DNA sequence: GTTAAAAGTGTTTTGCTTACACTCGATTAT
DNA sequence: ATAATCGAGTGTAAGCAAAACACTTTTAAC
C-alpha cells in the first residue's frame, strides 16, 4: 500500500490560472450547442402530528396540471446549486438557516415532457414551528404538507425523488445527528424518540433508545472532559394529566447549515 | 405515526399525460433563457500494485493546460446522465458493464473559468485486467493511472471530487459488497483483504477479516438454505515459493450494472 | 382517594468485535 | 537432502454493544 495513514487527498481547487489560460479565455466564446435546463427541486421535510411530512405544491399549469409536485425552480447563471436550493426553500416556506443536503441528480431525457430538464434534488429538514407562511410559486396553486407515507399522485419523477429521500434519511439516522434538525431548541426525550420512530417507520424501545444517547446530566457536571451530545436543562415541561418531563438541548448546534 | 410498517412510498413516474398537457405541449417553445453547460466527470478507480489508482488525463488545452483532470464530457441532449457516464467510461478505457454510481453534482459558478459548467460526478470501479487500452479524448494528451494517495496537481475542482469519492467508497465498504467490483471472477482471500486495506488505508487482521465473510465451503454443501456471499472453488492457485492458495468466487454477481 | 396517562429507570442475555501466535506446505539455496 | 524462507491457514478468550423485558412515580381529572 502506498501510504497507510493517509485519510483523504486533501486537494483543493487551484486558484491560479496559467498564462496560456488567459490567452485562451480572451478568445473563448460560449458555444452554440444546445444545452439542457437545470433546476433544483427541494424535498422539504418536517415532523408534526407524529408523522413525517413533505411540502408539496399543486401544479396549476401543464404539464401534470392538477398533480402535486416537490417545489423547485431554475438555477440562476451566477448562482451555486446550494444557493439556488436555499432560495427556493426561502421562497416556499420563509425559512432560512436550516439543514439542507444535496440528494441526487435526476436527468432522464423525457422526465419533463416539455424539454430536457436535469434536476438536482435537495432535501431540507425544518422544524414545524419555524414555518409560518406557505407561499406558492408562480406555476403552483395550493401548498400543503403531506404525510410521506400517504402521498397524492405526483408529477414528473417526484415519487422516485421522495423514495430516494426517505432512503437517505433513514440511512443517515444511524450515524449522524440529523434528527435534531427536526426538533426545536428544547425538547423531551420522548419527542426525540418519536422523530426516530416516524422516520424509521417502527417503534423503538424506550430504555434502549435512551441508553444510546450521551447525556450531560444536571448535577454531576464534574466530568467536563467527555464530549456529550445532549444536555439536560434545569427546566421541565408540565405534562398534561401526568407528571412533568425533563427538557433537553442538543449541545453542538453548529453544522446546521451547508453551502 | 401514520403507518408503522410502510417502508418506502413506492411511487413511480405517471406514464400518462393529461389532455391539457397535450394542448400545452403543442404550443410550447423552449425559452431563450441562458442555460449552464452540463457535463459528467468519471472517477475511474482500480486496485493494482497494492494501491488504489485513479485514471487521469493530462489537459493539452486551456484552461488548466498541463494539469491532470478526471475524464469527462458533455451530456447529450437525448442522453441520460448514466448513459453519458458510461459512454465516457467506454471512450477512455474500453470497458463496459462495470460498476458505476453517481457521486455528487458540483456546480459552483466559477469552477470552470470559461463559462458556467455544472458537472455530475460519477465513480466507476474496474478490474485492472479489464482495461486494455487507455485512449485520450480530444482535449487530453496523456492518460495514466495515479495513486489516489499521491496525486499530481489537478485541474478545476477535481481534487475535491476525488476527496469525495474516497469518502463515499470507504463508507460503502462497510455495508455493501462493492469491493468485489475491483477483483476478477476468481480471487484469493488475501487479495480481497488487500482491496479493503488499500481503500481504508489501514492494515486489517487476517483472522478477523475472514470471520466477517460468509463463505459456502466446498465439502459441507448440505445447508443450502443459508445465503452466502462467497463460494470456495475446487481450484487452487500455486503460490510462488510457498503453498497453494484457495480460490473463491463472489456468488451474487448481479447488480454489477446500473443505468 | 381512586383512576388514568405518560415519564422514568436496570439487569440479564446474546451476539459481535477485537486482540493475539503458531503450524503447514512448497520452493529455493546450500 | 536438509535447512531456510515465505505466505496460507486456523481458534480462543475478553470486552463491549445490542436486545429483550416490567414496574414505580408523578400529576390531573373525576
The distance of A145 to chain B (nearest Cα, Å) reads 14
Give the residue-averaged pLDDT of A39-64.
96
Let me know: does A107 contact A118? Beta carbons within 8 Å: yes
Percent of chain B having pLDDT more than 70?
A: 80
Ramachandran area for residue B106 (φ above 0: left; ψ -120 to 50: alpha; else beta):
beta
Task: Give DSSP secondary structure letters for B44-90.
Answer: EEEEETTEEEEEEEEE-SSSSTTSEE--EEEPPTT--HHHHHHHHHH
Q: Which runs of consecutive H residues, i.e. helices, occur in chain B?
A: 19-27, 81-93, 158-175, 189-200, 206-211
Give the tens place of pLDDT for each residue, B189-232: 999 999 999 999 999 999 999 999 999 988 765 555 678 899 99
Return the pLDDT at A32: 66
Return the pLDDT at B135: 73
Retrieve residue B175's grid coordinates. Answer: 455495508
CATH 3.40.50 fits A186-250, yes or no: no
* Residues of A in Cβ contact (< 8 Å) with B29: none
Return the pLDDT at A17: 60
C-alpha distance from residue B23 to each of A61, A114, B28 (Å): 11, 12, 9
Percent of chain B having pLDDT more than 90?
A: 71
- What's the CATH superfamily of A37-175? Nucleoside Triphosphate Pyrophosphohydrolase (3.90.79.10)
CA B96-B100-B106 angle, 5° bins: 130
Rounded CA–C1' distance between A153 and D17, in angstroms:
43
Q: How far is CA A83 from the centre of its chain?
A: 14
Instruction: Judge whether A235 counts as a catalytic residue.
Output: no
Mean pLDDT lowest among A2-6, A217-221, A235-239, A247-251? A2-6
Which of helix, strand or coil describes residue B166? helix
Q: How far is CA A115 from the centre of its chain?
A: 27
CA A102-B67-B153 angle, 5° bins: 70
Rounded CA–C1' distance between B44 and D5, in angstroms:
38
Pairing mode, if any, of strands A99-106 and A117-125?
A: antiparallel
| Nucleotides in chain C with any atom closer than 7 Å to protein CB | 4-11, 17-21, 24-28
Contact call for B35 and A33, based on CB within 8 A? no
Which of helix, strand or coil describes residue A11? coil
* Residues of B in Cβ contact (< 8 Å) with A30: 114-115
Mean pLDDT lowest among A10-14, A175-179, B31-35? A10-14
pLDDT exceeds 90 at position B155? yes
User: Is the distance between the Cβ of B247 and the closest atom of strand D smaller than 7 Å?
Assistant: no
Give the residue-averaged pLDDT of B168-185.
95
pTM beyond 0.85: the answer is yes
User: Is the distance between the Cβ of A208 and the closest atom of strand D smaller than 7 Å?
Assistant: yes
Let me know: does A124 contact A43? Beta carbons within 8 Å: yes
Q: What is the mean pLDDT of chain B?
A: 86
Look-up of cell digits 482471500: B189
CA B100-B104-B108 angle, 5° bins: 140
Return the pLDDT at A121: 98
The dotted CATH code for B178-250 is 1.10.10.10
Query: How many helical (H) and strand (E) elements, i.e. helices and strands, does chain B have?
Result: 5, 11
Give the tens place of pLDDT for each residue, B59-111: 999 999 999 999 999 999 999 999 999 999 999 899 999 999 999 999 999 99
Let me know: does A96 contact A86? Beta carbons within 8 Å: yes
Task: Report d(CA A140, CA A136) in Å as an integer.
Answer: 6
Let me know: does B58 contact B145? Beta carbons within 8 Å: no
Task: Report d(CA A69, CA A159) in Å as an integer.
Answer: 9
Return the pLDDT at A123: 98
Look-up of cell digits 492518460: B143
Contact call for A11 and B158, based on CB within 8 A? yes
Task: Report d(CA B212, CA A221) in Å as an integer.
Answer: 41
pLDDT exceeds 90 at position A143? yes
Return the pLDDT at A137: 65
Give the residue-averaged pLDDT of A168-192.
95
pLDDT exceeds 80 at position B9? no
CA B64-B67-B70 angle, 5° bins: 95
Burial of B75 (0-12, 13-18, 19+ CB in 10 A): buried
Domain ranges of chain B: 37-174, 178-250
CB proximity list for A244: less than 8 A, separation 6 or greater: A236, A237, A238
Look-up of cell digits 485514471: B55
Retrieve residue B172's grid coordinates. Answer: 460503502
User: Is the distance between the Cβ of A174 and the closest atom of strand D smaller than 7 Å?
Assistant: no
* Residues of B in Cβ contact (< 8 Å) with A194: 1
Return the pLDDT at B18: 57
CA B100-B102-B107 angle, 5° bins: 145
Q: Which of B84, B68, B83, B85 is nearest to B124 (CA)?
A: B85
Q: The domain at B37-174 falls in which architecture?
A: Alpha-Beta Complex (3.90)
Ramachandran area for residue A143 (φ above 0: left; ψ -120 to 50: alpha; else beta):
beta
Return the pLDDT at B92: 87
Amino acid at each position: 500500500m502506498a501510504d497507510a495513514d493517509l485519510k483523504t487527498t486533501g486537494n483543493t481547487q487551484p486558484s491560479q490560472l496559467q498564462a496560456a489560460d488567459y490567452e485562451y479565455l480572451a478568445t473563448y466564446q460560449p458555444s452554440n450547442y444546445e444545452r439542457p435546463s437545470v433546476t433544483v427541486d427541494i424535498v422539504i421535510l418536517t415532523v408534526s402530528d407524529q408523522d413525517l411530512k413533505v411540502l408539496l405544491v399543486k401544479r396549476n399549469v401543464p404539464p401534470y396540471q392538477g398533480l402535486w409536485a416537490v417545489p423547485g425552480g431554475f438555477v440562476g447563471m451566477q448562482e451555486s446549486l446550494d444557493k439556488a436550493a436555499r432560495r427556493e426553500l426561502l421562497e416556499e416556506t420563509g425559512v432560512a438557516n436550516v439543514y439542507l443536503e444535496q440528494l441526487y441528480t435526476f436527468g432522464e431525457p423525457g422526465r419533463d415532457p416539455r424539454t430536457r430538464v436535469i434536476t438536482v434534488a435537495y432535501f431540507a429538514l425544518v422544524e414545524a414551528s419555524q414555518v409560518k407562511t406557505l407561499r406558492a410559486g408562480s406555476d403552483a396553486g395550493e401548498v400543503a404538507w403531506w404525510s410521506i407515507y400517504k402521498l397524492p399522485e405526483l408529477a414528473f419523477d417526484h415519487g422516485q425523488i421522495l423514495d430516494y429521500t426517505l432512503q437517505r434519511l433513514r440511512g443517515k439516522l444511524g450515524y449522524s445527528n440529523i434528527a435534531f434538525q427536526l426538533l426545536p431548541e428544547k425538547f423531551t426525550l420522548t419527542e426525540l424518540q418519536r422523530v426516530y420512530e416516524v422516520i424509521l417507520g417502527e417503534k423503538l424501545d424506550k430504555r434502549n433508545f435512551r441508553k444510546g444517547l450521551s447525556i450531560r446530566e444536571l448535577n454531576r457536571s464534574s466530568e467536563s472532559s467527555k464530549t456529550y451530545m445532549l444536555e439536560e436543562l434545569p427546566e421541565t415541561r408540565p405534562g398534561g394529566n401526568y407528571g412533568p418531563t425533563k427538557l433537553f438541548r442538543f449541545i453542538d448546534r453548529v453544522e446546521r447549515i451547508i453551502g
